[in-house]
Each structure stands twice: as C-alpha cells, then as structure tokens.
Structure 1
C-alpha cells in the first residue's frame, strides 16, 4: 500500500511539473523564440557534426562514405599513439598552451586592475578601445604584421638590433625564439579583450570595502591585493576552469600562418598535424582520431579542475 501511494505521489508530482512547464513555455514564448536561433545554430553546427566522430573508428574511404567504410575499432588511435611524431606534437601542444595560459591568463587581470584606477572617464574609454582593437584583427593580418616586424632584412626589430651593433636574427626559423613569438603575439591580441569580464566583476565590488581599507591605511597596491582580487576570485576561478578546457587548443590559425618546416620540432601541434595528415594527405580517420583524443583530454581537464575547485569550497561550473 505504501509503495502504491509513493508511486501515485510521484506520478502526481510529474503531472504538476509538466503543467508548470507548459505554463512557463506559454508565458515566456517570445523569450524562447529569441533563444531559438542560437539553439538551432548549436544543433546544426555543434551537435549534428558529432556523428562524424565515427570516422575515427573506421578505415574511412571517401568513395564508400561514412557508414559503408569498414569498422576498425581503436586501430586509428593505436596508429596515432605509435606514430614517431605523436610525442613531439603532444609536447609542443601542451607547452605552447601552458605558456599561453600562464602569461595570457594573468595579463588581463593586471590590465583590469590598472584600468580600474584610471579616473578620467574619456581617457579610460579611449584606452580600453585601443587595447580591445587587436582582438578584432584576424590572424591573417596580424601574422603579416609580425612577419614584417621580424623580417631579418628590413624588419623593425632587426633594424634596432643592428643599430646597437648586433647581427640580424631570423626569428621565425629559429627554434629558440619561435614559441616566445607565438605566446607574445597571442597575449598582445587577446589580453585587452580578456579585461571585459574582469572589469565587470571589479565594478561590482562593494565600495565600502575600499573605504574601510583606506581607513586602515591601505594604499592602492594593498587595496588591489586585499580587496579587489579576493572579491573577484570566483570569476578568476571560473575563467581558469574554462581555460583548462582549451589546454590542447594552441590556436591552429596562428601556428599555421607563422610556422614552417624548420620549426616543426617546437611548433607542430595536434591541430596542424590533423590538417597536414588528415586533410592534405587525405588520411581522414587518423586525423579524426587525433581530434577525438584532443577533445577527450580537454573534457578530462575541465571535469578534474571543476572537482578540485569545488573541493576547496569554491563555486564550479556545475
């Protein structure tokens, strides 16, 4: 009898939840209508293409098609892991991503703290516009600017080196400099754009906290360290977790436009390997296996980071 009562109550609860959901859909129909284009975009360009993952588990033949190609299981992954280039491309991808994460993550926070101290509103907006601008410049254009600046014949950097009595350096074919060029150009392009979220978080900090710190004799530096940064710590943690999801995302477009065979040993990453092997050499299954591996590692990182953050008492992504 008790089991029947519990089952009946659950059914009633589900019925009420269904009615409530229907009422909410009718009430907010225009909001859901506005949401529809974004959902349709995600469905068509993000979720439906996931079916193509099966290519990584097949010996894909473009003439046979995706479904008719023979199933080979994890053979493509075995080939990938046994490839003599795999360790090198994995090391390059992780190192470049970590360098970008370390330098690219901290610079927007520092810029936000500095911009927050600007009192002249017009100058502050002008400065923000200037540092946002590189984000809207494509890598095609920015890579051309980088190559022009670093040109060993008439580039600005080498001109300065020669003026001080040094010998010109071909930075883009020197393995000692190439990763630094990738990291510094990436930070230059995205640092300003990254300040938007942190400035929004800083604007929500309680002004009374600054007043109390000034009464205690804290200067600007101590206010930033003891008031601003602790107040925006949840935002910093969320952004860090999201950044870890891109730990194997070293920016294909930037690397592809700047690298060359002479720096493959320090610049060849998973994405360029997928393009070169999967597209140019028409080895689609091996390229897909590399892409699936990258996605799996990214998911592992973001789930692990989220759990670690929650264990330390902070709010995670879910």
Structure 2
C-alpha cells in the first residue's frame, strides 16, 4: 500500500510516500526557520501563509522522488492535531481534496502517534509492549503501547514541554533560533555538575514531569552571571542534564511495572546527544533494546504520518466519507485506534 503522508502542524511543510508503513520512498520537508528566526519563535500567521504557498510543490517533489504519480497512491494520511490551527487547516484541507479527488481513504493522524511511528519505519522495529518517550517542543509524554494503535499515557508534563524550555533558555542566552540544538552543542563544552538543579517534587500524581521551575532557575542564573562563554557552557550543560535526568527518571520503574520489552524515544528532542547517551546506558542496565529514529525523522516529517496512517488503516479499516467531516483540532487528545493489533 502506497501512503501519502502530509504534516503541517507547525512551521515545516512535509510530504512523504511510504510503502506498507515501513519503506520510505521519499520524504520532503520545507523548513520555515529563516522566516521565523528574526522573531525568535514561530509566528502562526506567517507559518500558515507559507504552508499555502509551498504545499503543492512539496507534494509534487515527494511524488517525483518516489517515482510515482498521484494515481499510484492508495491512501492519504494527514496530521489533524494538535498544532497551530491555521497550519493544520492548510494540511487537512489539501489532504481532503486529494483523497476525494483520487477516491482513496483519508486517514487522520494524531501528531504524537506520528512521532511514535517514526520508530516503525524500517525493518528493525520495537517489540510490544513498547514504552515511548515522545519529547518535542510541544510534548513530553511517556506512552505505553501494548499493540499497534493502543496508547496509554503514563506520564506527561504539567506545564512546559522539554523542547520548549530548551528553546526558551537558549533564546535568553542569545543562541540562534531554534535554540534547542544550539544549546545541546554548547552543553558539550560545559561542566554538567557546575550548577545543581534538583528534581521537582510533584504531589498527587504517580508520574509527572514539570519543567517550568528549572527553566526559570536557568534564566535567572544567566541574568545574574551569564557574561562569560565558560559560564554559558556550564549553564547549558547543567540545565541539559537536569532536563534529561527528569525525562528518564520514571522510565526504569515504568518498564519494571509494565514489563515493556522495548523503549523508544521520538520527537525533536530525541536528537539531543545527552538524552541518547543516557538512554543507551539505562537500556543496557535494564536489558531492554532502545529505539531512536535517525535525526531527520526526529523532527516533523510526512514519513512518520504516512507510517502511522498505514497502521491505523490496518486497525480501523476504510472510511470513504472521512473527507466530509474531518476537522483539525489544535488541542487534540491522543486516543487509541479501536482494539489495536499486534
């Protein structure tokens, strides 16, 4: 089955062609970083307008690279939330038109499910049950999957997402946009033990993340004594360690309780060098395989949406009228697809 995957949830216009949910025939991403960098963050109106301008050429390029035409496409998958509502509207409207015109199924995909399925692209895929750490600019969740399409959130952030605090602290430190990767590089030259960030005490939840406190602490530290390059590197290293320590803190206990057979990390922060190193060490200790996508599949892309759409199609089947009532949702909740399958 040839699936066309479309993602316009934020500031990247992405389209890909994926065969049977695992083989990437093409994956094209048009970045808007240059448009938003002077503002220090994504401007929703600018993002939406750029999606309108570029979505057709991006789709044409994806088809060209895959060596196929629209008539070869068997289904269209599209991110319908969460994300920027104007940006989502561009992608869903375009996907609805394509699916209707081609007479093929339209499969709406939750953005988190897309990130999770980035680890199912290829031959070596996670074994069920799999514990997924989805960590990006908008999300920080531990999600247990006992089978395809069966999602249970076991831990999530109560305030800021990990990628968001990386970007905000980096911006305060004067690093280029988007700041997370630049902070990650700077941290490699600093002392992670130079500034102590304690784990937050969170009451009333079995597992939960909270990153707003350490974000504020890092910003205040920089404002007080952030003149030297050495201090910047030390602050970046200490702050990065605090975020990574918190992300991985509940993982061992959750894996033990759920008897998960795999641990997978996805989302933009999955490219973080310290997170990868610490996760590898933890999984080696636990005797559990670790799955992390290549860097190009950590950030938003159409291939992960096509993969998730394929597996969702296997779970719920064909709905030829989806194009009639599909609407994007900025705050869409993650729900399972029927009973899932192994």
- TM-score w.r.t. the length of structure 1 is 0.27
> Over alpha carbons, which structure has the higher Rg?
1
Q: Which structure is higher in RCO with an 8 Å CA cutoff and minimum separation 6?
A: 2
Q: Which has the higher helix share?
A: 1
- TM-score w.r.t. the length of structure 2 is 0.25
